Amino acid sequence: MTTNHQPVESDGILLDAAAPLLEPRSLNRRLPPIVAGGVDALLATVGAIEDFRTTMEVGSKWLEIDRMGGHNIRIARSVADIRTAKASGKTAIVIHFQGADPIEDELDFLNAFRDCGLRAMQLTYNSRNRLGDGAFEPTDAGLSKFGKKVVKRMEELSIAVDLAHAGNRTTLDAAAAASRPIIVSHANARALCDTPRNLTDEAIRAVAASGGVIGICAFPYFIKRTGTPDLEGLVDHADYISRLVGPQHVGLGFDFADEDEDDYVYYGYDDRYIPHPPWTWPAGISGHADARNVAGSLRARGFSATETRGILGENFLRVFEAIWGG
């Protein structure tokens, strides 16, 4: 296994498409390992199952940090912003919702959030919401009428449609409704780890057919159901998805979290698939400080330098450019 002193492939962008740990109040603690691991850009979870006001408060704090130039970060609204941030030694933050509850039942709230920097949003979290069924809903009823309207408005506003945490039918319905590439910010292959939070082969193919990308996820119970996962297990998922649809449809969505029992209840985890915390993260990729390890493991598995560069971040940037327009 490589060490965390290996360079990122060809100076490409290293992007984590799922960063729930990043909050305005915890940047002093969270940013140092991100910088140490060479992570250039992250999709920070600003909202998920919260209401409009609560989410807007958090988003406003991010905007104030950006306005004041604090913490050496930049709120990125375009791929050019991400590349500029890296060139200037800053960490790029993309505002991301891990669920659509912040828009409540008002489609036009998307307009306000977009103007505040929202560039990617999951349709659902673990449970059913107004848009459709989440991954842990037993009904798997799919996308609602409102959900289809939201997908259409998101595309009109150039906000990436993210299907992480969506039920299988919701994922397939959204892929059918979409006219632009769709993403799954953080999930793995269900064929290797049988949990509803991972993607069926049909869903993987649907994302790839749209031109989209799937961020392989370091959450231990999405890598394997039993035993101790490690970085090689994570790369197994990259390898599987690449063989199924091509490495150009693979990215990274680490989803590092530090949750307690209250969080477990609040976010609606299902103990059939996810045990109660604390959780042990995979050896070799246990936090952002280990992010550089991924490149060496991908190369050792046989991925080319170009393919590795794509998985580390350039694949997501290609898709974001197609959605955001630059």
The string of pLDDT tens digits covering residues 290-313 is: 999 999 999 999 999 999 999 999
Q: How confident is the model at residue 6 (pLDDT cuts 50, 70, 90)?
A: very low
Task: Report the alpha-carbon angle 309-312-316, nearest 5.
Answer: 100
How many helices (H) and strands (E) the chain has is answered by: 13, 9
- 308: helix, strand or coil: helix
Closest CA to 219 of 242, 249, 188: 188
Using an 8 Å Cβ cutoff, are 126 and 269 in contact?
Answer: yes
pLDDT at 52 over 80: yes
C-alpha span between 195 and 193 (Å, rounded): 6
State both tokens at 82: 């991400």
Q: How confident is the model at residue 70 (pLDDT cuts 50, 70, 90)?
A: confident
Q: Dig out the tokens for 13 from the structure.
A: 């962008």
Is the confidence at residue 211, as pLDDT, over 80? yes
- The predicted model gives 311-326 an average pLDDT of 95
Q: How confident is the model at residue 7 (pLDDT cuts 50, 70, 90)?
A: very low
Which three-class secondary structure state does DSSP give residue 108?
coil
pLDDT in tens, 220-261: 999 999 889 999 999 999 999 999 999 999 999 999 999 899
Per-residue model confidence as pLDDT tens digits over 254-285: 999 998 999 999 998 889 999 999 999 999 99
Q: What is the rounded CA–CA span in Å between residue 326 and residue 72?
A: 23
Angstrom distance (rounded) from CA 133 to CA 3: 41
DSSP letters spanning 8-43: PGGG---EEEEETT--GGGHHHHHHHHHHTT--EEE
* Mean pLDDT on 168-179: 98
Arithmetic mean of pLDDT over the chain: 95
The 10 Å Cβ neighbour count of residue 5 is 8
The phi, psi pair for 182, rounded to 5°, reads -115, 160
Nearest alpha carbon to residue 102 among 32, 140, 45, 143: 45
Q: What amino acid is encoded at 172 in this protein?
A: L
**Residue 179: Cβ within 10 Å count:** 9
DSSP state of 273: T
Q: Are 150 and 103 in contact (CB under 8 A)?
A: yes
4, pLDDT greater than 60 = no
pTM of the model: 0.95
pLDDT reported for residue 265: 93
pLDDT at residue 268 in the model? 86
Q: Which fold has domain 9-324?
A: TIM Barrel (3.20.20)
